Chains A and B, each alone.
Chain A
Amino acid sequence: MDLAAAARALHDNVSRVIDGKPDAIDTAIVVLLAEGHLLIEDVPGVGKTALARALARSVDGSVNRVQFTPDLLPSDITGVSVFDQATARFEFRPGAVFAHVVIGDEINRASPKTQSALLEAMSERQVSVDGTTYQLSRPFMVVATQNPLEMEGTYALPEAQRDRFMARISMGYPDAAAELDMIHGHDRTEPIDALEPVVSLEDFAAMIAEARAVHVSDAVGRYVVDIATATRSDERLLLGASPRATLQLVRAAKAYAAVRGREFVVPDDIDALAVSVLAHRLIVQRGEPEAEHIVRSIVDRTPVPTGS
C-alpha cells in the first residue's frame, strides 16, 4: 500500500473521532510513523485520550491507558514478577507499557520515580525486570498528556525527560461547529468503538521502514543544524536544543515528507515541524516570550539552503 495513501486513510479514520483538529492528527501520525513519542499538553477534556485511542485502533494496535496518580508505582508501568504456586516459578506480569500505544494520562501527576520508569521504557524500548529483559512491541508510542503546570497537584516534567518526547502538541478547544458535531456524534454511539483498523500492524511496520529511508540532503541537514545551533546561542533561551532534538527533528521530517508522498525532505518540512519538535525542550529566560515564538523567529531568520 502506498504510504501517502495509507497515511491519508489513517488521517481520515482518526478524523471521524476527533473533529476539527487536522494539524494535531497530522503530527500524531507523523510521530507514530517516526517512532517517536507524543506529548499533548492541554486542559482536560479536549480529546487527548480519544486521539491516542483512535490512532491505536486505526493501526490495529493494542492500547493501554494509565492514569498517572501520585500513588502509582513504577512496577505498575513496567510489570512485575510474581510467584506462581502451581508451577512454583516466578511469572512475569507485564505492566502498562506492553502495548502499541500507551496513553499516560496526566503524566505530571505521578511521582518523579514513576515518571522516570515510563520514560526509560520510552527510550530503551525494552523493560528489565528481575534481570530479564523484555522487548516492547512495535510500533510503540507513548502518548502522554500533561496538564498545564498551573493546574493543581502537578509535578513539572524534568527537561531531560521532556527531551524524550519527539513532539509536543496542544489540541486547543474545538471550534463551535466541531463541538456541536461532537454532541450529536457522541449521542448515538461511542465513536472510538466504532472505528475499524485501516492499516494492519505489518503494513504499518513497513511504512515505518519506508519513512526511515527518506532522503535528507546535505543542504537540509545543514539547515537543521543551523536552526539547532541558533537555539543554543539565542540570548532568550537558557537551554537550547540538544543533539537528540536535532536527530528527532530530522526523523520527524522524514516521516512528514513520506506522508506527503515525497522521498526526500525539503526545508518546508523542517519549517513546519520545528516548533512542535523543538519548543518543549527549551528553557526560556524569565520575562521572554513563549518558546514557540522564539523557535518560530529563529526558523524565520535562518537562511534556507537552495543547493543540494
Chain B
Amino acid sequence: MTPRPGNGASLAALVGLLGVLWGFGNVLQGDVWWWRVALVMVGVHAVLFLLRRRGLRLAPLAGLVALGLLVVWVFVPGSTLLGIPTPATAHALRQHLSLAIAVVAEEQAPLIPPEPLMTGMALGFGMLVIVVDAFARSRRFALWGVGAVYATGLGIASLIVGANPPLLAFVVAAAGWLAIVAARSSVPSTSRLVLASVMGTVALVAGVLAPSVVAADLTPAASTWGRAPVDVFGRGINPMVRLGENLRRGDSVEVLRSITTAEEPPYLKVATLVDMEGGTWAPIDDPDGLPYEQPLEDIDPDIESTVEEISIAVDDLDSTMLPMPYPAEGVRGLVGTWSWHPVGGTVRSRTETTRGQTYVADYVELDPDANQMRERQALLPPAMMGRYLALPDDTPPQIAAVARSRTAGLTNDYDRVVALQDWMREDFRYSETSPVAEGYDGNGVEVIERFLVEEQAGYCVHFSSALAVMARSLGIPARIAVGYAPGEPAGRTNDGERVYSTSSDALHAWTEIYFEGAGWVRFDATPGVGRATGFDEPTISGQASVGDLPNAGNATGGTPQDPRSLTEGEQGADAADEGAAGGPSQAVVAAVGGIAVTLLLLVPGVARRARRWWRWRRGRDQAEPLWREITDTATDLGIDVPIRATMRRQAEPLKDHAGPGLVAVVASVERERYAASPGNVAVLDEARSSVRALEDSVPTWRRWLARYFPRSLVRRSN
C-alpha cells in the first residue's frame, strides 16, 4: 500500500484548526487556554492517525472516546481513580459544561477563560478535529468541508469580539488549508483546483468581512465591545460563579459614584443568595416560596436606628440588578420599570440596565449595642428556618467541628458569629488566586473545608460562604449578599459633601445573619475589605428614639415584601431605548453564537444540496454526474454501493429502490465512458426519478438524516 494522501491532508487540517483556535485570542486572554485545548486536539489527532493506520474503520468513534478521556485527564483529573473515570467524573464534567454555557451566555469578551470554558472548548475543538480529519480524508470534500469549518470558526471568533481575529490565526488557517489543497491535488484536475481555491478564498474573505458587517447592523453598542465593559450581574445569572473571575480581571473601572448622609458609605447589595446547590450558591428562583425580610416596622424600637440617604450615579455598569443599600425604605429617580425582589430587598428590572442611572435611596442604619444583640436569638419563623439552615448532604463534618471549636464557651448567637468573623479576619489571608484549583473558584462545601482547614486564604467568595456555612452548621440562619464594598473617598462636591467612588474591583460578597427583632445583619469575614461588624459595648443606653423609626406610610418605595413598580412614567419611553442600547451585547452574542452553530450544522446539508444542484446542471448533457448523484444519494440513505466495482454491480443493490429509470442512466453512462463515439443521450429525467424513488424507498428518519448529515460527503463512492 502506498502512503495515503489523507494523512498529510489531515495533519494540515489539524494545523489549520489550531490556527482557528488562536482566532479566539481576541476573545480570551492569556495563552494557557490555547496550550491546553491544543494539547487535547493534538492528542485526538494522534489517536485518529494511529487507528487509521491500523485500518480501523470506526476511527471517528474511537476518536470521540479518546477525546472524552483526554478532556477528563487534562481538565478534571482529580475526579478519576488512577485515570479511570468514575461517577464523580461525569458529575464534574456536567458541572464544567453547565458553567461553561453560563459563561458563554453571560460573560463579555474579552475574558480570562475559566477552567470550565476551556473544558467546553476542548470538547468542541476536539470534535472539530474529528470532523476535519474526516473531511480532509474524503477525496471530494476536503477543500470545501475544511474551508467551511475554518471560515465558520474564525467567523464566530470575530463576531464575538466584533473585530478581526489575530492575523496569525488567519495565516495559519489559510496555510493549513492550502496544504490540503496541495496534498489533495495529487491527481491534478486544474479546473477543480482553481475552483476550490476561489471558493476557499471567498469563504475566508467572507469570514473576515461578515463580522464587521453583521456587528455593525446588529449591535448598536458595538463600539463598547472592545474594551471590556463591566457587566457582572447579567440577566438571571449566578453572580457567585463569576465573582472571582471579575475580581481577577485587573483592569478596574469606576462603576458608580455616591454621596451619602451617613458617616460612612454603606455596602451596596445587588443580589442575595440563599440556596447552596450543585456546589455553589444559587440565586433564588422561586421567591414566592421564601419571602422573608424583616419588615422595617417590626424592628425592635429599643434598637437605635437612623434613616440615611444615598445618591448614586451609575457610570460603567450594565446590569439589571441595582446596587442598593440594605435595608432600604425606598428609591427615587430611576428611569424605566424596576421592582423589588421579595428576597433580600434588592431592586431589579426586566427591561432596563443600570448604565447611566441616577437615583436616591433611603435606608436604615441600625446601631444596636452589643448586649441588645446578645439578647436576641437568631431565629426565623419556623416555615423559613429550614431553608436558611439547609446544607448539602455532602458537607464535610469538619466544617461544623471547626465552627464548634471556635465558638466553644460562647453562650449566644451574636457572639458566636462575631467570633467566627473575627477569627477569619485576623487569622486568614486575602488572596484572589490561591484556591483556584479544580472546581470552579470553588465555594462548594469541599472547597470550604479546604479553605478553613488547609489554605486559610482566599477571597470574599470563600470568606462569605465559609461564614454562612459555619453559621448554618451551628443552627444560625444565614445567607450571602453580593454587591459592592463601601466606596472610597473621591473628593467633595461644591457643597462640601463627600463623594465616594466605587470601582469594579470593589465587587464583594458578605454574609447576612438573621436576628429576631433586628432583621438581617451584615457580617463581613473578609480580611482587609469593608468593615467588620461589632456593635459597641453598652455604655449608657436609652437614647433610642421612637421618632427615628421609619414610618411605613411615608416610605416612597414600599416594603420589600410587597414588590411594587417604581415606574417614573414620563422619562420612561425615551430613556428606555437608551437603556436597552446599553446592554444588548450578551443577547446578541448568544443569538449570533446560536445562529453560527446552527449554520455550522447546516453546512454539510447545504454543501450536499449544492453538489446535487451542480450535478443536475451538468447532467443536462452528461450522464456521469447523474450517476454519481445516484450513487451518492444511495450512500446518504445508507444503501451500500460497492466501490471499485463495475457499474452493474454498483447498480445491483439499487435495483429494488431506484425504479426503471436506473437502467437507462446506467446505459447512458456506459456509453459515455466506453463507447467509441459517445452520443448524447439525455437521461436527466430518469436520473431525477431514480433519486426520488431511492429517497421514497427509505423511512422518513433516514431521509432526514441523509439530508442534514450526508455520508457521501466523507465517504468515497466510485
Give me the interface of A with B, judged by CB distance under 8 Å.
Answer: 215, 217, 219-220, 262-268, 271, 300-308
List CB contacts (< 8 Å) of B668-684 with chain A. 670-676, 678
- State whether A220 touches B674 (Cβ < 8 A): yes
- State whether A217 touches B647 (Cβ < 8 A): no
- State whether B646 touches A267 (Cβ < 8 A): yes
In whole angstroms, how far apart are the Cα atoms of A307 and B187 in the complex?
14
Contacts A304-B646, A306-B718 given; indicate if A266 touches B676 (C-beta within 8 A): no
- State whether B644 touches A308 (Cβ < 8 A): no
* Cβ contacts under 8 Å, B624 to chain A: 306
Q: Can you name the residue of chain A whose Cβ is closest to the Cβ of B677?
A: A215
- State whether A301 touches B644 (Cβ < 8 A): yes
Residue among B649, B675, B718 making CB contact with A264, cutoff 8 Å: B675
Minimum C-beta distance from A148 to chain B (A):
31
- State whether B672 touches A267 (Cβ < 8 A): no
**What 5 additional pairs, Cβ within 8 angstroms, besides A263-B675, A304-B645, A308-B673?**
A271-B646, A300-B645, A307-B673, A308-B672, A308-B674
Q: Confirm or deny: B609 has a beta carbon within 8 angstroms of a beta carbon on chain A.
A: no
Q: Confirm or deny: B648 has a beta carbon within 8 angstroms of a beta carbon on chain A.
A: yes
* Cβ contacts under 8 Å, A304 to chain B: 644-647, 718
Per-residue CB contact flags for chain B residues 620-645 toward chain A (1 = under 8 Å, else 0) read: 00001000000000000000000011
In whole angstroms, how far apart are the Cα atoms of A266 and B646 in the complex?
9
In whole angstroms, how far apart are the Cα atoms of A211 and B605 in the complex?
48
* Cβ contacts under 8 Å, A264 to chain B: 670-671, 674-676
- State whether B646 touches A217 (Cβ < 8 A): no
The number of A-B residue pairs with CB atoms under 8 Å apart is 55
In whole angstroms, how far apart are the Cα atoms of A300 and B644 in the complex?
8
In whole angstroms, how far apart are the Cα atoms of A217 and B644 in the complex?
18
- State whether A268 touches B647 (Cβ < 8 A): yes
Minimum C-beta distance from B49 to chain A (A):
25
- State whether A265 touches B645 (Cβ < 8 A): no
- State whether A268 touches B676 (Cβ < 8 A): no
- State whether B648 touches A217 (Cβ < 8 A): no
* Cβ contacts under 8 Å, B645 to chain A: 300, 304
* Cβ contacts under 8 Å, B675 to chain A: 215, 217, 262-264, 308
Residue total for B at the interface (Cβ-Cβ under 8 A): 16
* Cβ contacts under 8 Å, B670 to chain A: 262, 264, 266, 268
Minimum C-beta distance from A127 to chain B (A):
37
In whole angstroms, how far apart are the Cα atoms of A301 and B645 in the complex?
8
Contacts A264-B671, A268-B646 given; indicate if A217 touches B718 (C-beta within 8 A): no
- State whether B649 touches A271 (Cβ < 8 A): yes
Minimum C-beta distance from B582 to chain A (A):
62
Q: List 15 A-B contacts (CB under 8 A).
A: A217-B675, A219-B673, A219-B674, A262-B670, A262-B675, A263-B675, A264-B670, A264-B674, A264-B675, A266-B674, A268-B648, A304-B644, A304-B646, A304-B647, A308-B672
In whole angstroms, how far apart are the Cα atoms of A308 and B624 in the complex?
11
Main secondary structure on A side of the interface with B:
loop
- State whether B673 touches A217 (Cβ < 8 A): yes
- State whether A217 touches B674 (Cβ < 8 A): yes
Main secondary structure on B side of the interface with A:
helix
In whole angstroms, how far apart are the Cα atoms of A219 and B674 in the complex?
7
- State whether A306 touches B676 (Cβ < 8 A): no
Q: Can you name the residue of chain A whose Cβ is closest to the Cβ of B718?
A: A306
- State whether B646 touches A308 (Cβ < 8 A): no
- State whether B676 touches A217 (Cβ < 8 A): yes
Minimum C-beta distance from B223 to chain A (A):
57
Minimum C-beta distance from B593 to chain A (A):
44
- State whether A303 touches B672 (Cβ < 8 A): no
Per-residue CB contact flags for chain B residues 187-220 toward chain A (1 = under 8 Å, else 0) read: 0000000000000000000000000000000000
Minimum C-beta distance from B693 to chain A (A):
22
* Cβ contacts under 8 Å, A306 to chain B: 624, 673, 718
* Cβ contacts under 8 Å, B644 to chain A: 301-304
Q: Can you name the residue of chain B whose Cβ is closest to the Cβ of A304?
A: B646
In whole angstroms, how far apart are the Cα atoms of A25 and B278 in the complex?
80
* Cβ contacts under 8 Å, A267 to chain B: 646-647, 674
* Cβ contacts under 8 Å, A268 to chain B: 646-649, 670
In whole angstroms, how far apart are the Cα atoms of A305 and B644 in the complex?
8
- State whether A266 touches B678 (Cβ < 8 A): no
- State whether B672 touches A266 (Cβ < 8 A): no
In whole angstroms, how far apart are the Cα atoms of A220 and B624 in the complex?
17
Q: Can you name the residue of chain A whose Cβ is closest to the Cβ of B628?
A: A306
In whole angstroms, how far apart are the Cα atoms of A262 and B648 in the complex?
15
* Cβ contacts under 8 Å, A220 to chain B: 674
Q: Can you name the residue of chain A whose Cβ is closest to the Cβ of B650?
A: A304
- State whether B678 touches A308 (Cβ < 8 A): yes
- State whether B646 touches A265 (Cβ < 8 A): no
Minimum C-beta distance from A180 to chain B (A):
31
- State whether B647 touches A263 (Cβ < 8 A): no
List CB contacts (< 8 Å) of B377-404 with chain A. none
In whole angstroms, how far apart are the Cα atoms of A263 and B647 in the complex?
17
* Cβ contacts under 8 Å, A302 to chain B: 644
CB-based closest 6 A-B pairs = A215-B676, A264-B675, A268-B648, A267-B646, A268-B646, A217-B674
Minimum C-beta distance from B642 to chain A (A):
9
Minimum C-beta distance from B652 to chain A (A):
11
In whole angstroms, how far apart are the Cα atoms of A301 and B649 in the complex?
13
Q: Can you name the residue of chain A whose Cβ is closest to the Cβ of B675?
A: A264
Minimum C-beta distance from A8 to chain B (A):
18
Minimum C-beta distance from A113 to chain B (A):
43
Minimum C-beta distance from A253 to chain B (A):
11
Q: Can you name the residue of chain B whose Cβ is closest to the Cβ of A217?
A: B674
In whole angstroms, how far apart are the Cα atoms of A230 and B239 in the complex?
72
List CB contacts (< 8 Å) of B482-538 with chain A. none
In whole angstroms, how far apart are the Cα atoms of A6 and B649 in the complex?
27
* Cβ contacts under 8 Å, A215 to chain B: 674-676
- State whether A263 touches B646 (Cβ < 8 A): no
Minimum C-beta distance from B186 to chain A (A):
16
Minimum C-beta distance from A303 to chain B (A):
5
